[in-house]
Structure 1
């Protein structure tokens, strides 16, 4: 859009107006970027140069400020305006003689990936029980980066459309920019917009005064200050948003997996040629699907979405594939493939990040994983599932990174978790989740062998306060009975491996909490739901569940009161009383504190790291010097799981370390 009004481009005017607001809100770097966009669109716009000079003064970048205000003075048409700029220039020149310039990074490349390279040779193998999977040809040390991959296709989650960049999926800055055509997707930079398929503005013609030496290198100067603002793709680059950008906003309405299916289909067409039919296009992806296992309602839904998607692609993209039974059925299979093989791209968020006052106020710092996008990784989809994984997946922008969390011997499968791991949910709930979402019954060691975590995570304690045994309900007990012939084996290849530690701990504790479950021919009548698996004592499960439900009502009431900062004495007393009841009913390991979790996960599991974030924030608020050791251990765990990317994935770690240095000696 090149709408001009008295030599000023309308879009440039909007950027300058927003820059003014950003400067008032102290978003100086974002303000500077908006000024860069304005002068790139309309180099003769004096107000844009003036605003850029002012923000450079605030950033103490005096050389650029002098240059910007000099250009603004020469482009200013009014005499009063010129005099005002001249007076400000004198002040800045005096300041620049007393202070040194700060180096300001004008643009941040959100697409940068670490230089760390993958040094491991992986191979795809086929096994009778799990089909295709990934193994290594050689032994792999723990903490090794084994895989890095860009997505075949990706789309943003619905709830993140206003908060995260639609291309790199990082958080949007205050100066987010929309697609130049449909204005729906928001991007963190012109580069991300260009990668996705946004149009690039053309600069307004610049009036050049050959007698004015200031403008001799103006074009070069603009090029320098707007470096990396634009992206000029190569001929073979495939734009992921272009087919959605025709005035119809169907990607906003359709579910994320259907939008992703459209992107996969369009990319396949562009890579392989529009003359190919859908079966040939999708066959090249070699992705598994679970269409035959899903419910009739889900099948009908997929058929409806497939027809709608093909119709939208035909009318917005000029898709030449016909809408007939063959093409619809193949798109239905594609949707099913995406639902089984897509990976959720997550970001780690920490509350109160970078706020010093949360330490002094005693607020607990927590870490949560937010799903910001959905993507297909063709090689990444080959890694099989285990509830006791030996690899960990994370994301740098859109790039999938996979790192080992333990020593993996040659030929041993590399497996990640598709959902909750051992220690997060009990076996019964994990099996149901995997069957519902992925249509397979997990047979990993965590689901086929007895382990302490599955026995205690949702268990009641024995009515005898001196007995450490567990009391299970019928559904959990039946699930554990299926596993009682398979005690955990502890291989000797690596005693430090996290899931092997869990196996060792399980062997130590199963007999302590569930001795009766280990007896092959247990015929005692005091063995079943509601009975202690250690001594056989009876507990009233119905009454126990009712007490737990009532207790959580009062505990949640206290949580709401803390959030609203309206805590009454009655609320505190009720929560305290019912917390005591919970302690008398639930098993001692049915808790979420770091010491207990170590028995469920192992010493260096990432879940322990998340709990240590909470613990360290509490210790810092109490000026407890133990926080130093806690943060050191936390840093070691994150280094174990994220390697050289630890600080990128969890920048709050640096904040905690700085706060620890402030502790009184």
Structure 2
């Protein structure tokens, strides 16, 4: 997840430094005890120093559309299909509705989709080309492609995951945590806050939870992924007004309007301000939950029946932002981005209405800065893997239950993604009554203790006292090997590396059993290798198969 300090805050600090105002402004800022007060103070500073300017106007441009289409055709001729589709999709994004350029963009993209065996998507693009007045004097080639695609439709290439995403059987559902199995419970602790505890022994490989994020935001995959659901899609359709968002179907386009109608005119300007995905996510939340502005202080951590839910804002609102532990510079910079977002929404959208309700403006500012603090500590990266490539990030998700898992440098659970759906499984035996631990990106086998602890302290504001830190576990290359206990064979490693799905299913089950035999003697290289094999199998299960 990107969370770099964006440029506008740094520019403001430089200007204040030139005026010898750093110390007096810092004193005043440190006296502010509310998010609203912090944003208001920085907002006035940004205005006074001329850092909040005009809107970068976004709009359709058929000349740019034609340029992207020309580049797409050049890529297609060179057999660079992936690049061609992205360029044709950029042509789609920039073309005016009902224009010849939009029709040609859809038509050209349909040629790549046909070549890939994506006949359904090809036919959809052909129909869109016709609806946008594809010139009748050259429509013959398009109609010929349509006839062939209809004929070949039964042999459509099946884009999708190599395995069916798992589901929790009804009998195993947790009555008090709507996304979890009945293997765990939420418990309050004086030292750890809310935490997740095993209700019985959890075996390696068992599913603990399957959770969808209540909010998600894409990460720079404009021309291959849906702006709303983050689904990989090769025939995206555009927003009719801006060039920055595309959707996998009409439903997502329609569902997104509740927030996109406000972000639409300012997305391009936010790019100029170098506003990142976590900052955009904070704004999106503040836009979406407007109906709760009058009752924020009444939001509970569970619903009326005591169920911890993943499909409502209340649980997200009660996550910790660690405000009191943040340094002044950190809060100042986050207040600067929050003030910038408020400025853009206030001056260039209709979110606050004609009356510019100051009460709603204040709540918006409070919420954006609040979630600028909760996001880096609680939100999770959404990853995807195509073919034999490495997993890559496609966005950020707000998962209310996953956010309750505390960190360990030697975790006992691991996360995977089927699209934006997160699957949480045990990667070693978790005894009844033990806490379930996730890893926040700093693992004992890969990073020395002092470096891990420094990074955790900086981002998450705690001193790690996990077993790996307390016992100072060695790095992977220094771990002992137990020759008499379970190991993974070189042949099985090759099966996984070669993407042999059937063998991976067998290996997954066998590795889970072997982990049980070695985990009590940790740390050891046997356990580390077996856990990596378990992860590699799941990476294969969640892999997306594509036609190239």
Counterpart of 2:8 in structure 1 is none
Deviation track 1:24-70 (CA, whole Å, cap 9, x = no partner) reads: 6835535333113234667997966861442442x5x43xxxxxxxx
Within a 5 Å distance, the mapping from 1:406-485 to structure 2 comes to 406-453=428-475, 456=478
| Residue 347 (structure 1) shift | 1.9
Provide the rounded CA distance (Å) in 2 between the counterparts of 1:603 and 1:409: 21
Provide the rounded CA distance (Å) in 2 between the counterparts of 1:324 and 1:400: 34
* 1:103 partnered with 2:154: yes
* 1:249 partnered with 2:274: no
| Residue 260 (structure 1) shift | 0.6
Query: Given the superposition, is the C-alpha separation of residues 45 and 438 from structure 1 closer, same or farther in structure 2, using an over 3 Å criterion?
Result: farther
Provide the rounded CA distance (Å) in 2 between the counterparts of 1:293 and 1:369: 33
How many pairs are equivalent?
A: 389
- Indicate which of 497, 508, 521 corresponds to 1:504: 521
* 1:605 partnered with 2:531: yes
* 1:345 partnered with 2:382: yes
Question: What's the Cα RMSD here?
Answer: 4.1
Deviation track 1:416-435 (CA, whole Å, cap 9, x = no partner) reads: 11112121112111111111
Counterpart of 1:14 in structure 2 is 102
Counterpart of 1:143 in structure 2 is 205
Deviates more, 1:260-269 or 1:407-416: 407-416
Counterpart of 2:253 in structure 1 is 193
SS in 1 for 2:452: helix
Deviation track 1:70-120 (CA, whole Å, cap 9, x = no partner) reads: xxxxxxxxxxxxxxxxxxxxxxxxxxxxxxx5505499689x973522532
* 1:168 partnered with 2:229: yes
Counterpart of 1:36 in structure 2 is 127
Counterpart of 1:374 in structure 2 is 396
Counterpart of 1:398 in structure 2 is 420
TM-score normalised by L of structure 2: 0.61
| Residue 146 (structure 1) shift | 1.8
Counterpart of 1:123 in structure 2 is 185
Counterpart of 1:387 in structure 2 is 409
Counterpart of 1:260 in structure 2 is 281
Gaps in structure 1 of 5+ consecutive residues = 4-8, 63-100, 198-238, 354-366, 458-493, 507-597, 610-635, 656-665
Counterpart of 1:287 in structure 2 is 319
Query: Given the superposition, is the C-alpha separation of residues 447 and 499 from structure 1 closer, same or farther in structure 2, using an over 3 Å criterion?
Result: farther
Q: Is the 8 A contact 2:110 2:123 kept in 1?
A: no
Provide the rounded CA distance (Å) in 2 between the counterparts of 1:240 and 1:500: 51
Query: Given the superposition, is the C-alpha separation of residues 189 and 283 from structure 1 closer, same or farther in structure 2, using an over 3 Å criterion?
Result: closer
| Residue 155 (structure 1) shift | 1.1
* 1:318 partnered with 2:409: no
Q: Is the 8 A contact 1:156 1:372 kept in 2?
A: yes
Q: Is the 8 A contact 1:289 1:340 kept in 2?
A: yes
* 1:51 partnered with 2:51: no
Query: Given the superposition, is the C-alpha separation of residues 12 and 103 from structure 1 closer, same or farther in structure 2, using an over 3 Å criterion?
Result: farther
Provide the rounded CA distance (Å) in 2 between the counterparts of 1:444 and 1:499: 20
Provide the rounded CA distance (Å) in 1 between the counterparts of 2:432 and 2:130: 58
SS in 2 for 1:338: helix
Within a 5 Å distance, the mapping from 1:197-208 to structure 2 comes to 197=257
Counterpart of 1:308 in structure 2 is 340
- Indicate which of 103, 114, 129 corresponds to 2:165: 114
Provide the rounded CA distance (Å) in 2 between the counterparts of 1:247 and 1:451: 49
* 1:648 partnered with 2:528: no
Q: Is the 8 A contact 1:452 1:505 kept in 2?
A: no
Q: Is the 8 A contact 2:514 2:530 kept in 1?
A: no
Counterpart of 2:13 in structure 1 is none
SS in 1 for 2:167: coil
| Residue 335 (structure 1) shift | 1.2
Query: Given the superposition, is the C-alpha separation of residues 313 and 498 from structure 1 closer, same or farther in structure 2, using an over 3 Å criterion?
Result: farther
Higher-RCO chain (CA-CA 8 Å, sequence separation at least 6): 2
Within a 5 Å distance, the mapping from 1:164-243 to structure 2 comes to 164-173=225-234, 175-197=235-257, 239-243=258-262
Provide the rounded CA distance (Å) in 2 between the counterparts of 1:47 and 1:600: 65
Query: Given the superposition, is the C-alpha separation of residues 55 and 276 from structure 1 closer, same or farther in structure 2, using an over 3 Å criterion?
Result: same
Q: Is the 8 A contact 2:110 2:125 kept in 1?
A: no
Q: Is the 8 A contact 2:196 2:404 kept in 1?
A: yes
| Residue 290 (structure 1) shift | 1.6
Deviation track 1:216-273 (CA, whole Å, cap 9, x = no partner) reads: xxxxxxxxxxxxxxxxxxxxxxx34332123663443422222111111122213x3x
Provide the rounded CA distance (Å) in 2 between the counterparts of 1:147 and 1:500: 24
Q: Is the 8 A contact 1:137 1:410 kept in 2?
A: yes
Counterpart of 1:73 in structure 2 is none
SS in 2 for 1:246: helix
SS in 2 for 1:241: helix
Deviation track 1:558-588 (CA, whole Å, cap 9, x = no partner) reads: xxxxxxxxxxxxxxxxxxxxxxxxxxxxxxx
SS in 2 for 1:452: coil
Query: Given the superposition, is the C-alpha separation of residues 193 and 106 from structure 1 closer, same or farther in structure 2, using an over 3 Å criterion?
Result: farther
Counterpart of 1:333 in structure 2 is 370
* 1:156 partnered with 2:218: yes
| Residue 301 (structure 1) shift | 0.9
**Bigger Rg, structure 1 or 2:** 1
Counterpart of 2:55 in structure 1 is none
Provide the rounded CA distance (Å) in 2 between the counterparts of 1:247 and 1:305: 14
Within a 5 Å distance, the mapping from 1:522-601 to structure 2 comes to 599=525, 601=527
Provide the rounded CA distance (Å) in 2 between the counterparts of 1:23 and 1:294: 53
Q: Is the 8 A contact 2:414 2:424 kept in 1?
A: yes
